[in-house]
Amino acid sequence: MNTAPSIIEYLNDESRTYFEKVKQHLTDLEIDFVEDPTLVRGLDYYNHTAFEIMSDAEGFGAITTLCGGGRYNGLAEELGGPETPGIGFALSIERLIAALQAENIELPIKKGIDCYLVSLGETAKDYTVKLAHQLRNAGFTVEKDYQDRKVKAQFKSADRLEARYVATLGDDELANNKINVKFMETGEQVQMDLATFVEQFKKLQA
């Protein structure tokens, strides 16, 4: 295995660009990762990135993998369905519970979400990945669009998820360091500085 060729050396341009973007997102979200060219999942339909998520909690045990999975964009077509992107993973619920206990984590359970991030434009869409992570780290429940839907469809998704606030970021707003925030219950809208948005959002919840 030590002398065998690495799969990383044989990526085509599309796969290499895609993989670099995945790693950049992980870096932006401050998620530690290790590239493992010998990682193998036992299913042939995966493409692009396969992954495992692990816990390094003390006392968790020798088997640290919590879940594993990957992307499978062509699977629905192989089964006779339409062209459909896909990503998934499998996990052991017992192992997950043990990891939560080892890390002293309690899961918050409540109805609805605090904020839904609507994005307009490719640059703004990429930025909301980081912004969602920052809000989650601040203790908020957050979702965003992952399907490049129109603004109207994104707002419908926010309604279905019973979002208290919708924050809208377009490429123009991003260039001006601004973000628009709507309180869904009243319809009131305000514009905030993007650089201090998380801190300002905390004050809205007070």
pLDDT value at 16 more than 80: yes
Lowest mean pLDDT among 65-69, 125-129, 202-206: 202-206
Could you report the per-residue pLDDT of 162-171, keeping only the tens digit for each?
Answer: 999 999 999 9
C-alpha dihedral (77, 80, 83, 84), degrees to nearest 10 = -80
* Model pLDDT, residue 37: 86
In whole angstroms, give the CA distance from residue 128 to residue 147. 13
In whole angstroms, give the CA distance from residue 68 to residue 148. 26
Residue spans in the chain of domains classed CATH 3.40.50.800: 113-204
Q: What is the CATH number of domain 113-204?
A: 3.40.50.800
Identify the H or E element spanning 134. Answer: helix 122-137
